[in-house]
Structure 1
Amino acid sequence: MSFPWAKTYNPQHPFTKWMDERLPVPRLVYNAVGSGYPVPRNLNYWWNFGFMALTCLALQIVTGIILAMHYAANAGVAFDSVEHIMRDVNWGWMLRYAHANGASAFFIVIYIHIFRGFYYGSYKAPREMVWLLGVVIFLLMMATAFMGYVLPWGQMSFWGAKVITGLFGAIPLVGEPIQQWLLGGFAPDNAALNRFFSLHYLLPFVIVGVVVLHIWALHIPGSSNPTGVEVKSESDTVPFYPFFIAKDGWTLGAFLFLYTALVFFAPNMLGHPDNYIPANPMSTPAHIVPEWYFWPFYAILRAFTFDFFIVPAKLMGVLAMFGAILVWFFLPWLDKSPVRSGNYRPLYRKFFWFGLIPAMAALFYLGGAAAAEPYVMLSQIAAFYYFAHFLIIVPIVSSIERPEPLPFSITEAVLGHDEKPASAPAA
């Protein structure tokens, strides 16, 4: 979106003028995150998680590059190389814990960012492309995180790789060739470890590219806001710098405080103890689970325990697991409500807070629970509601609900509406 009142970059120093004529990087930064980028003045703290996600991505890339200098992608020595990093490399333990827990922090931030988008309708026109690119980023994150979990080559790494890649074998005709292509053989071994390491190193840079597109797409219509009302005048906006840089800055400080507390005082809290046991193909762990951020989709996978006509239960589970994310791609067209924000959609708000959020919380818990009753039955109920929310409830609610009145403008939502005009100043 073009803002005619946005400040323009006007270099004063001879060097900055020369630079602007030949490589206008300062102008690009100024227009992207500086005073040249006006944003809605009513953004609340839920909008700070995008900046936190960018910080997490930077932390993961920096720590990952340093760890890759000391890691050996060979099934015979991979586990020992991780122990070497932990014990012999200067500050290696901190880098490894920062990277491992950084993945968890990244997913916490992204999940909040996504569910903020669900509630405030950030996927609606004209921001469909922003949303679609965001879902692509999430899929790339999941692939990167899965391959990274395999690299320590502990028990859970090995068996997690075996179970997850084995899911592709459920696909008729092409499943087993795809599985063998992914692994470079018939089981996780040296070839698989080399491939996963290469892709784990490459994909973060692919994510950076998609993030650039994501931010570019965001700057075309401008940021959304809690009211869902579009910017109408200069009074509806404030410059990104210094106002929202400061707002993002102190919440980023609070986030980094919690993140470093996790790294230094509870670095193994979110991991699995079996991954400190070297991979053993002859010893199956009693309870194979992926990392916690995969649990909702793992619970959906395990919820299918019976065949559906000629479709095997395993294939149904695989399709449902991928479909649980792919359904987000269609959300801009499933939700037909002209009102974006859940703050002004009373019926949608109830289904969100008392339906989707409890269902997702249940799936998080059930994905890490044992594959036994009553957890399987509860997974089936939660998975049914999850899909019903997006495919049935959202389209119906968006067609029948009566939204509450919207404010005339963002300024009115912030400052309130005057019932009568202000008095004329005294002469």
Structure 2
Amino acid sequence: MSFPWAEEYKPQNPFMRWIDDRLPLPRLVYGAVGGGYPVPRNLNYFWNFGVLAGIALAIQIVTGIVLAMHYVPSGTEAFASVEHIMRNVNQGWLLRYAHANGASFFFIVTYIHIFRGLYYGSYKAPREMVWLLGLVIFLLMMATAFMGYVLPWGQMSFWGAKVITGLFGAIPLVGEPIQQWLLGGFAPDQAALNRFFSLHYLLPFVIAGVIILHIWALHIPGSGNPTGVDVKTAQDTVPFHPYYTAKDGFGLGIFLILLAILVFYAPNYLGHADNYIPANPLSTPAHIVPEWYFWPFYAILRAFTVDFILPAKLWGVIAMFGSIILLFFLPWLDKSPVRSGNYRPRFRQFFWILVIDVLILGYCGGAPAEEPYVMISQLATIYYFAHFLIILPILSSVERTLPLPNSISESVLHGEKQEAAPIGSGSTSAPTVTA
């Protein structure tokens, strides 16, 4: 998809035109997110969540910078510095709760964004690079969130760091040296806090950089859409602004209202009470769990309980990382020429089974490591890998799909007549429709 009108764009304001002639930033913004970026006209509200993820990252960066001004990454002072932020810093409690709950909302919108991509085939050609960069962002988010969870230096922070870094110790030969290198010693302490704090501060800016690449990669083929049909005429598109900026603005309003409700009325609902107890290496919590957004992967880790050729712990580590790495190969595992789940009846059924499976894994990951949760985790883990490695490849070969619409306009107008305009004609006005 090309954007010839973006190249011809000239600001009307003399000052902006002066800037654009010397630094074409207004032209770039217009072509990227303004009226110069044509978007399929049939996008639904599930396409809001990419923008919401960007807003969530901005909230995390702004609140994180202010919190970093008052935080002390010290084994003896970290917990007290967090309490100082909560009690003594002006609006410190608001910043801390917005940052902690903002991380949860960041993962909520990202998970919805990922599952939207799975349902509508956003990983299929020619958007493989968009999908791969999105997964890189997800991995960076997980690393950033884990290190941020350690910083308050409560009981769950300390023992979470102990357990998660201990996973690397399961790797034969090099595992223990890697674990000691990550921690800067044999157990989480001052060195680990310094490292985690510096990386937790740095990685959000790395995420922002990868998001720019993600958007850049998206602009080359253009946005996907619920039908999975390629844009064929200018009639299939509308300008991003004002149509989708208004739609995203509505979604943003709902997002901020929900975040405000959580921050003001239930700020600790998604946290763990043990993290308000200072870290004590001599007292192990009765139930060690990571943050809720890691629970599905934690359930996969704990699903392996029997040594078979390799130690069970190593199998769990391989499966946990494999459950994410597997998604990188999804564009080549699902070879169906039809992108959207709307036109793949069998795929749609298995997709919702996958959603339920992941929710079950999440519930089991937050439950104690005892029966029946372990057995349920094992069954859910088997289905998770079977879905991507067995079911999808078979479905893409044998599934009978529904007929696709001839164009995006046809799917929107349902047979009404429309005046088609060739792509690249330069028109950015709203489509004209006659009954």
Question: TM-score when scaled to structure 1?
Answer: 0.97
Partners in 2 of 1:199 and 1:191 — Cα distance?
12
Q: Distance in 2 between matches of 1:138 and 1:41?
A: 28
Q: Do 1:34 and 1:239's aligned partners in 2 also have CA atoms closer than 8 Å?
A: yes
Identity, % of aligned positions: 77
Aligned pair 1:255/2:255, yes or no?
A: yes
What residue number does 1:213 align with? 213
Cα separation, 2, equivalents of 1:348 and 1:81? 51
Q: Is the 8 A contact 2:154 2:279 kept in 1?
A: yes
> Aligned residue for 1:168?
168
Q: CA deviation at 1:153?
A: 0.1
Find the aligned partners of 2:313 and 2:60 in 1 and give their Cα distance: 34
In 1: Cα distance, 2:117 partner to 2:83 partner: 40
Alpha-carbon distance change, 420 to 54 in structure 1, aligned in 2, over 3 angstroms:
closer
The equivalent residue for 2:430 is: none
Deviation per residue, 1:254-296 (Å, 9 max, x gap): 1100000000000000000000000000000000000000000
| 1:222-237 equivalences in 2 (<5 Å) | 222-237=222-237
* Residue 27 to residue 419, structure 1, CA distance change in 2 (3 Å): closer
Pairwise mapping of residues 334-345 of structure 1 onto structure 2 (< 5 A)?
334-345=333-344
1:184 paired to 2:163: no
Which one-letter code corresponds to 1:47 in the other structure? W
Distance 1:7 1:315 in 2: 54
For residues 81-132 of structure 1, the C-alpha deviation after alignment (integer angstroms, 9 at most, x for no partner) is 0000000000000000000000000000000000000000000000000000
Name the residue aligned to 1:241.
241
Please give the secondary structure, in 1, of the residue aligned with 2:187. coil
Matches within 5 A, 1:251-400: 251-308=251-308, 310-353=309-352, 355-400=353-398
Q: Who is 2:427 aligned against?
A: none
User: Does the Cα contact within 8 Å between 1:135 and 1:329 map onto a contact in 2?
Assistant: yes
Moved more, 377-386 or 11-20: 11-20
Conserved in 1, the CA contact under 8 Å of 2:344 and 2:400?
yes
CA distance in 1 between counterparts of 2:418 and 2:47 reads: 33
* Residue identity matched to 1:253: G
Q: 1:39-84: CA deviations, max 9, x gaps?
A: 0000000000001000000000000000000000001000000000
1:126-145 matched pairs, under 5 angstroms = 126-145=126-145
Per the TM alignment, residue 6 of structure 1 is displaced from its structure 2 partner at its CA by 6.3
- Partner residue in 2 for 1:22: 22
Q: 1:5: how far off? A: 6.4
For the 8 Å contact 1:7–1:35, the answer to whether it is kept is no
Contact 1:230 1:409 in 2 (8 A): yes
SS of the equivalent of 1:39 reads strand
Contact 2:3 2:36 (8 Å CA) reproduced:
no
Q: CA–CA distance in 2 between the matches of 1:333 and 1:237?
A: 29
Amino acid at match of 1:27: R
Q: Which runs of 4+ in 1 moved over 6 A?
A: none
The CA distance in 1 between the partners of 2:9 and 2:177, in whole Å, is 55
- After TM superposition, give the deviation of residue 18 of structure 1 in Å: 2.1
CA distance in 2, matches of 1:200, 1:60: 11
Q: Distance in 1 between matches of 2:143 and 2:340?
A: 31
Change (3 A) 1:23 1:125: same
Amino acid at match of 2:120: Y
Q: Distance in 1 between matches of 2:219 and 2:76?
A: 48
Native 8 Å contact 2:6 2:27 kept in 1 = no
| Mean Cα deviation higher: 4-13 or 40-49 | 4-13
Question: What does the per-residue CA deviation read over 1:145-191, in whole Å, with 9 as the maximum and x for residues that have no partner?
Answer: 00000000000000000000000000011111100000000000000
Provide the residue aligned with 1:39 in structure 2. Answer: 39
For structure 2, which runs of at least 5 residues remain unmatched after alignment? 420-433
Cα–Cα, structure 1 residues 129 and 370, in superposed 2: closer, same or farther, change >3 Å? same
Contact 1:297–1:363 under 8 Å retained in 2: yes
Shift of 1:13: 3.4
Deviations 1:22-52 (A, max 9, x none): 1111111101110000100000000000010
Does the CA-based 8 Å contact 1:156-1:289 persist in structure 2? Answer: yes
3-state SS of the aligned residue for 2:329?
A: helix
Shift of 1:11: 2.1
Counterparts of 2:299 and 2:14, CA distance in 1: 61
Q: How many residues align?
A: 420
Q: Note closer, same or farther for the CA distance 1:93–1:11 as it changes in structure 2 (3 Å cut).
A: same
- Report what 2:122 is aligned to: 122
Letter in 1 for 2:277: I
Which secondary structure does the structure 1 equivalent of 2:39 belong to? strand
**What is aligned with 1:83?**
83
- State the superposition RMSD in angstroms: 1.5
In the alignment, the residues of structure 1 paired with residue 416 and residue 243 of structure 2 have an alpha-carbon distance, to the nearest angstrom, of: 26
> 1:59 aligns to what?
59
The equivalent of 1:68 in structure 2 is: 68
Asked if the contact 1:98–1:263 (Cα under 8 Å) also holds between the matched residues in 2, the reply is yes
